[in-house]
Every structure is written in structure tokens, then in C-alpha cells.
Amino acid sequence: FNSIPGIGNKTAWALVSTRAKSLSKDRPIRSTEHLFSEAEAHLPDHAREILKHPTG
């Protein structure tokens, strides 16, 4: 996550932690927006576009 401009180490770790907690509690993350909301993190517009269209 922190390779995406606007997402630093603190936010990246919050996102990873939130995802891990949701899996351990059997509560699926429904979308990128939901993940950022659950982590109480701001989703930059350009990050939304990058995460919608991953490469590789």
C-alpha cells in the first residue's frame, strides 16, 4: 500500500491490520472503500483509481 502516493506506513499498517482482524472475525471486507472506512483511513482519489485497476 505505501507504494501508492498518499498512503504512508501508518495507513498501510492500519489497512493490513484491519484486513487481518476482519478475516479472524469472519467479517469480509466488501470493497476498497469499506476497507479504508473500517481502518478509519482516508482513501485518496488517485489511490482509488490505482486499486481499481491493478497491473501485473
Q: What is the model's pLDDT at position 55?
A: 64
As a whole number of angstroms, the distance between CA 30 and CA 4 comes to 21
As a whole number of angstroms, the distance between CA 22 and CA 5 comes to 25
Q: What is the model's pLDDT at position 54?
A: 64
pLDDT in tens, 1-53: 888 888 999 999 999 999 999 999 999 999 999 999 999 999 998 888 888 87
pTM of the predicted protein model:
0.81
Q: What is the model's pLDDT at position 2?
A: 80
Which of 41, 46, 48 minimizes the C-alpha distance to 18? 41
Give the pLDDT band of residue 56 (cuts 50, 70, 90).
Answer: low
Q: Which residues contact 39 (CB under 8 A, 6 or more apart)?
A: 11, 14, 15, 17, 18
